[in-house]
């Protein structure tokens, strides 16, 4: 597996994910440890300084499996919002934590639960829509 690509995370996502990882429900899980490792190496920026092509929480990302040629469209969400059938992937899922902070053109090697190897390259990122009142910015 290649070395992990550089990632960028907004300070808002970082704070929310940190709180999630501190919660008793997730604190000691392997998924939480994997996400914590990703966050420890992330460059943290203020939300207004985030590039538009970076995968953030609630962003929809299109990626191509360079080994199999399949295209995947996923939305990165918090665990309670996950719905694999609707393409809503938890940040605590291995592919979710791996996609967080990647930008268009970056790739990750990933193994599916059934043992299939994928090399996912981010081709498009759609940031989440801003709330109408601007309260979440």
Tens digit of pLDDT for each residue in 92-113?
988 898 899 999 999 988 777 7
The mean pLDDT of 109-118, rounded to a whole number, is: 82
Separation CA 52–CA 48 (nearest Å): 10
Q: pTM score, two decimals?
A: 0.85
pLDDT tens-digit readout, 12-65:
999 999 999 999 988 888 888 889 988 898 999 999 999 999 999 999 999 999
Hunting for tokens 């429900």 — which residue is that? 25
Greater pLDDT, 114 or 135:
114
Q: Is the pLDDT of residue 130 over 80?
A: no
CB 106, CB 124: distance < 8 Å: no
């Amino acid at each position: 597996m290649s070395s992990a690509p550089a990632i960028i995370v907004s300070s808002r996502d970082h704070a929310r994910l940190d709180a999630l990882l501190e919660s008793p429900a997730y604190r000691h899980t392997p998924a939480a440890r994997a996400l914590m490792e990703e966050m420890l190496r992330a460059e943290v920026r203020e939300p207004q300084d985030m590039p538009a092509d970076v995968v953030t929480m609630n962003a929809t990302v299109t990626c191509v499996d360079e080994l199999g040629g399949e295209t995947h469209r996923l939305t990165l969400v918090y665990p309670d919002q996950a719905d694999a059938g609707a393409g809503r992937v938890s940040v605590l899922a291995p592919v979710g934590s791996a996609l967080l902070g990647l930008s268009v053109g970056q790739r990750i090697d990933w193994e599916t639960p059934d043992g299939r190897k994928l090399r996912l390259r981010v081709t498009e990122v759609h940031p989440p829509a801003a709330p109408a009142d601007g309260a979440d910015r």
